[in-house]
């Protein structure tokens, strides 16, 4: 039975969510503030964490950052009323693996939990610890990235996006495919999450190097390839 840590300061809402989770054979523990949540998550094993952003003592963003520094592989779903694009980007940048806004349907939360747990299980079984392409080296175990020996610091979500590109070199990846495989979701029409994050990693991976590797294919998506000409 997967163990879930639910971090929510509204005790009534917390009980309602927990009831829905337990109906799907999920074992739920509670924390009502960010400091207690970090203490529990650091000392005990949890398969997944669900957290609000607005919390007493330590907000959900800081909790997420500090926990990911300790346990980078634990999946975290942010469940919050803060639903703007900027809020979502901030959540992903702090290390969240998924982001669901209130009000929400329990079946959608359950579906996202199942996807996150499945991906976490697959990653733990992955025996390949090093991805490489044209001087880029990504160590999946140490969570490090280098290009030509130079360390590249990526946020957790940037790391996952770069990992997907490295797993699919020299192939055009559509925005839909990236959203589905990296975020396991479909963003509302008009949002530009993918373009924002591609721009983030392009600046870090390509900016200081003569040979550019991350390119845009107009109307189609993005490609990791040496010597490819951008078409905007």
Give the DSSP per-residue string, 28-95.
Answer: EEEESSHHHHHHHHHHS--SEEEE-SS-SSS-HHHHHHHHHHH-TTS-EEEEES--SHHHHHHHHHTT
CATH number for the domain including 39?
Answer: 3.40.50.2300
pLDDT of residue 172: 92
In a domain, 231, yes or no: no
Q: Give residue 128's pLDDT band: very low, low, confident or very high (50, 70, 90).
A: low
pLDDT confidence of residue 201: 95
Same structural domain for residues 151 and 92?
no
The answer to whether residues 139 and 118 belong to one domain is: no
Same domain flag for 35 and 97: yes
The verdict on 192 and 120 lying in the same domain is: no
Domain around 197: 130-224
pLDDT surpasses 50 at 189: no
Q: Which of 86, 105, 125 is the last residue of a domain?
A: 125
Beta bridge partners of 101: 80
Q: How confident is the model at residue 73 (pLDDT cuts 50, 70, 90)?
A: confident
Same domain, 83 and 147: no
Is residue 70, in this structure, part of any structural domain at all?
yes
Question: Do 140 and 121 belong to one domain?
Answer: no
Would the pLDDT of 49 be above 60?
yes
User: Looking only at Cα atoms, what is the longest distance across the chain?
Assistant: 57
Pairing of strands 27-31, 3-7: parallel
What is the C-alpha radius of gyration for the chain, rounded to an integer number of angstroms? 18
13 and 120 assigned to the same domain:
yes
Q: 219: domain CATH number?
A: 1.10.10.10
Alpha-carbon distance values, 101 to 28, 66, 92 (Å): 20, 22, 13
Q: Is residue 107 part of a domain?
A: yes
pLDDT value for 193: 80
**Residue 19 belongs to a domain:** yes
Check if the beta carbon of residue 138 is closer than 8 Å to that of residue 177. Answer: no
For the whole model, what pTM was predicted?
A: 0.67
78 and 92 in a common domain: yes
232: in domain? no
User: Could you give the 3-state DSSP secondary structure of residue 112?
Assistant: helix
142 Cβ contact partners less than 8 Å away, ≥ 6 residues apart: none
């Amino acid at each position: 039975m997967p163990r879930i840590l639910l971090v929510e300061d509204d005790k009534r809402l917390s009980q309602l969510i927990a009831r829905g989770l337990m109906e799907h054979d999920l074992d739920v523990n509670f924390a009502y503030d960010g400091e207690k949540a970090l203490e529990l998550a650091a000392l005990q094993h949890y398969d997944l964490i669900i957290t609000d952003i607005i919390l007493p003592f330590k907000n959900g963003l800081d909790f997420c950052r500090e926990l990911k520094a300790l346990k980078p592989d634990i999946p975290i779903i942010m469940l919050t009323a803060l639903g703007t694009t900027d809020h979502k980007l901030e959540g992903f940048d702090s290390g969240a693996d998924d982001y669901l806004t209130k009000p929400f349907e329990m079946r959608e939360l359950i579906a996202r939990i199942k996807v996150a747990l499945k991906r976490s299980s697959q990653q733990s079984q992955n025996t390949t610890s090093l991805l490489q392409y044209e001087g880029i080296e990504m160590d999946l175990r140490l969570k490090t990235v280098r290009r030509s020996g130079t360390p590249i610091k990526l946020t957790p979500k940037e790391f996952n996006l770069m990992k997907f590109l490295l797993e699919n070199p020299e192939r055009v990846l559509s925005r839909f495919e990236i959203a589905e495989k990296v975020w396991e979701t479909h963003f509302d029409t008009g949002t530009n999450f993918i373009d924002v994050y591609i721009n983030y990693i392009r600046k870090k991976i390509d900016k200081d190097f003569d040979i550019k590797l991350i390119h845009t294919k107009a109307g189609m998506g993005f490609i990791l390839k040496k010597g490819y000409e951008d078409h905007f």
